[in-house]
Amino acid sequence: MLFTPYTVKQLALKNRIVMSPMCMYACEDQTGRVNDWHKVHYPTRAVGQVGLIIVEATAVTAQGRISPQDLGIWGDEHVEGLKELARLVHQQGSHIGIQLAHAGRKAVLDGPIVAPSAIPFDEKSKTPDEMTIQQIEETIAAFAAGARRAKAAGFDVIEIHGAHGYLINEFLSPLSNRRTDAYGGDRDKRYRFLKEVIEAVKREWEGPLFVRVSANEYHPEGNHPEDYVYYARLMKEQGVDLIDVSSGGLVPAKHRSRSQATRCPSPSRFAEMPVSPPEPSVSSRSRSTPRRSWRTAAPIWSCSPESSCAIHTGLAPRRRSSEPPWRRRSIIAAAGKSRSLRKGGRAPVPAAGHRRPGSSKRAAAV
């Protein structure tokens, strides 16, 4: 199933391999603009036959960057570089999405940072300013402006980052949202900020819309999968097309289990809910090799045939460039033949019509 086509809204992907958005911290000039490094990194994964490539967390405001080296989409000056990036990925037959993000209290920047409540992430972190209603409205407008620029740049998918302890996740959680106004309190009030972000983005964007969530905060007083099934129903009613399921990141992890380290809650937890995810979902995994990624992806599909698998580390630029593309190696692993590949055996061409560019073994590998 990993290599079968997948359609979300009107977008037809050639397979279910999704490159999950991963922060690269590569904007050395701190302008948030695409540079040559990005123009190599993302199209290289397209050469490796990834079906959908989602660009890293891209800040909708300069204040909302995780670090000064993050990509940005807070100004019209960012559109030109993002448009070139989309063109390069499309040229290799893949589709491209972008993750719109605001770091909230997890921003590591000079100057003030903001959050739903003035609660720092940990004892070493800066205490954020509690957002005023005006700041909330301005941030919602910034997400909408980011969606408008993403459309102008030619992206196929927008993902709203509501996970890993960043601003939207902070509004959703009772651990980080202690507000007593319309944006804090019970689940519906804590959802209001995300609700208004989705509404604002949809006014600018007609294409596939994803939302990433951290479906377990691993804290007894935090949100759990049951809470996110409730939120998922609300998102479905708003017209969200796919929910990208991750976990953790809201509070410091003291004793992380292996399942927490993979970022993906057990799919069986969702299967036991009144709805098993109420719409297509992507489960994000951070395993490093195709063999392991295949093993962790299998139970996701057994839970829901509408799922895809988003791979983290296996698609990050840490592996030797001489290795065969990830998609090719994962076909071997799925067939139980990974040992011959590790010994230097040639990987078969995975699909008719796939042409490896050039003759060098050092050609761009995923």
pLDDT of residue 3: 87
Question: How far is the first Cα of the chain from the last one, in angstroms, to the nearest whole number?
Answer: 20
The pairing of strands 209-214 and 242-246 is parallel
pLDDT surpasses 60 at 115: yes
Strands, DSSP E only, in the chain?
6-8, 11-13, 17-19, 52-59, 95-101, 114-115, 129-130, 157-162, 209-214, 242-246, 281-285, 308-311
pLDDT surpasses 80 at 148: yes
Q: Which residue has the higher pLDDT, 128 or 321?
A: 128
pLDDT of residue 113: 98
Confidence of residue 254 (pLDDT cuts 50, 70, 90): confident
* Model pTM score: 0.80
Residue 248: which region, alpha, beta or left (left: phi > 0; alpha: psi -120 to 50)?
Answer: left
Share the mean pLDDT of the chain: 81
For 359, the enclosing helix (H) or strand (E) is none
Nearest-angstrom CA–CA distance, 364 and 342: 18
Rounded to an integer, the average pLDDT of 147-154 is 98
Rounded to an integer, the average pLDDT of 233-248 is 95
pLDDT of residue 203: 98
Question: What share of the chain has pLDDT > 90, as a percent?
Answer: 68
Nearest-angstrom CA–CA distance, 366 and 355: 15
pLDDT of residue 306: 55
Rounded to an integer, the average pLDDT of 294-300 is 40
